[in-house]
Structure 1
Amino acid sequence: MGAMTVLELLSLLPDPAALRDRCRAIALLDTVLDTYAPTHTFVAGWRDGVDLAFMDNGSGDQYAVVFDPAGVFLYGFDHESDATPWREEDRAHWPGLLDGLPASLAHYTEAPEFQCHGFFDATVCAWREDGDTEWRCGPVEFAPDESDGADWLFGLLLDGSPDAYVSFAEDYFERSVDRDAVAAVLAGSPLSRATVISLSSSADYEAIAEQARRLGYCIPDEPGI
């Protein structure tokens, strides 16, 4: 059995509202654990009325999820996958990758933030227009031994559990991570001082709380709680 590709990813992605909450929570957790170089980020108001979730693992792989009033645009880039545009001298997308992408979201393939030397580097692409009940992708095809990177790029987003994040964070940050604190953030609980300190004893709560506000995350009315 081959690796999961975007074709299987579609049925596993949560609805846009849940996905946005999960992206925001993961970005906040990363911010607490690594304020200066988080792997996952979330930019509320990236564009007018548009939010952006972004992942960069520092090794040439990334994904972005754009939350636009017109819908959600998602892409990923696994530079070592079979679908990498770099498989050809003149970079080319995997056949069908962007076919069917609605005009209301297609302009994001040209966003400067997603360009590499003037090209939209992507191995995975999916979307869900506002009002649609399903995620969609282009008519891509993969042999059983071919991969686009969807399996590992989006594994954490798909799982969304405290255990999955703790496993990622303990491996990535090489330190123990408080599961209860992770669970509280993933559940959307107001970000308390106790939760922040449980995640990082050296964290500046006020600074973290301000960053959380910018993410659109809920903060207690009494910041000292």
Structure 2
Amino acid sequence: MHKNEKGVVMPLFAMTAVCFLLILFLIVDIGAVRIVQGDLYKSLDAGALAGAAQSSHHEFYEYEQQAERIPIIRREEVFNQECVNTPAGRECRRVPPYYREVLVGWQYRLHEEQGSLVADWVEIERDAAYRVAQDVFWRNAQEMGLNEGDNRVLWVEPEQKELDVLQMEGEVRVLHRYLPSFVQGFFGETVPHSVNVHKSVDAKAVLRE
């Protein structure tokens, strides 16, 4: 190594170390944000599902009066004659009668009204759904630490989008623990110390048998 090349390794090492730390802190802070995103989604999803379960089943029937038409039959006795030609003339005599059935009218008999199912649906009970959704969300958020340490739940709100659809929406602020301090201390630049994570989840109520 030449004399004028002495000391080159140290600056190169320092630059490499700075780049390495910068990448490391970036990965750590981004990883923390990704974890919060997943936990926020799970908490919102659990709340939305629990809220959508607070629903009632409705059915709509159409009723129709059923009538039975019964024929009225009358039995008639019919007499007949049998005639033959003889040398003395035409002779007729009565033969035994027979019977025939004659339709004389109709009789109608009404039955009980029969209902046919036209439509059925579920409707979320709004007040109960909102209350349950909030309770389940905060229970899960507490278990996952969404409102502890460097994280803060800014807001969470359920909303009934349709008769059978409940939406849960929320936002969490995540503090960057390492990268902003490192950049400000080493480069003198100011970078945001936090990022807001926003998620929205829909849950649909289902027909219960």
Shorter-chain TM band: under 0.3
More strand by share: 2
Q: TM-score w.r.t. structure 1 length?
A: 0.17
